[in-house]
Structure 1
Amino acid sequence: MPARSAASAASDAEDLLRGANLRVTRPRVSVLTAVSDNPHADTDQLIGAVRADLGDVSHQAVYDVLRVLTAAGLVRRIEPAGSVARYESRVGDNHHHLVCRSCGVIADVDCAVGETPCLTAADGLGFVIDEAEVTYWGLCPACSSAAAIATSST
């Protein structure tokens, strides 16, 4: 898929903000674009991307925007065990994640059995379930290849 232009990315972000009845501001557009362009980025990575776009912006401003975007459902916050919070713009489809135990890379994976059957718990205990988080842990292809090479050479 071809890379989108900065103007196109900003326009998309503005449309999403308006659709969520949020005021369109430069920091919100920049953070939303940064999350979209850097799936599973942590706040430090996002702050770097926003600063590259806007210049000097405070950590608190980025944290505040991430909080607003998450509350509005435009951004999803994930926090795999042992990891800092990470953000993604893929929302509303209840997908899951693969996490490499070695290098920490995170990848999206669709629900294993289709639509969203993982939202049907064996016993929901009266809860109205609207989201399920499944995290698969293992080694990514690069790390598993490196582990195999290291094992065979010893």
Structure 2
Amino acid sequence: MKKTTVTDNDHENVQALAENLRDTIGKFVRAVRCQAGTPTTAQGETLAFLERNGPASIATLAENRGVKHQSMRLVIAKLEENSLITQTPDPKDGRSQLITLTRKGQAENATARKARTLWLSEVLSTRMSARERTLLGEALPILQKITGLD
């Protein structure tokens, strides 16, 4: 296998690409959420995490969001008040509770996801050419590779 040598110039180009990609994707995510009327919140992100990963402890949820346990307890209390989650004893640790999405919580996630998809579909069909949509489709495997979803 041929060994590649990274020059200082290559390194600078990669750093610039990484910064531009990070900035652009961040703006993209914020724009989709904002324009679709589903702005990010601690509650929304917690519901999405539970949907992706299944039941979790408050400690796990706090760690995922990078907040203190007490802060996550406030988020969980609000979600429970709105019947979006339930708490049940953790069978592996009787001192801990597992947080689980309710059907209402699942529906809330689905509604937000649908709103974002509809807004993005509208933008792609009205503001992008067929060629631009093709290019975006071709770039998805690269982005998936970066995020480990491939």
TM normalised by structure 1 equals: 0.37
Greater length-normalized contact order (CA 8 Å, ≥ 6 residues apart)? 2
Question: In terms of Rg, which structure is larger?
Answer: 2
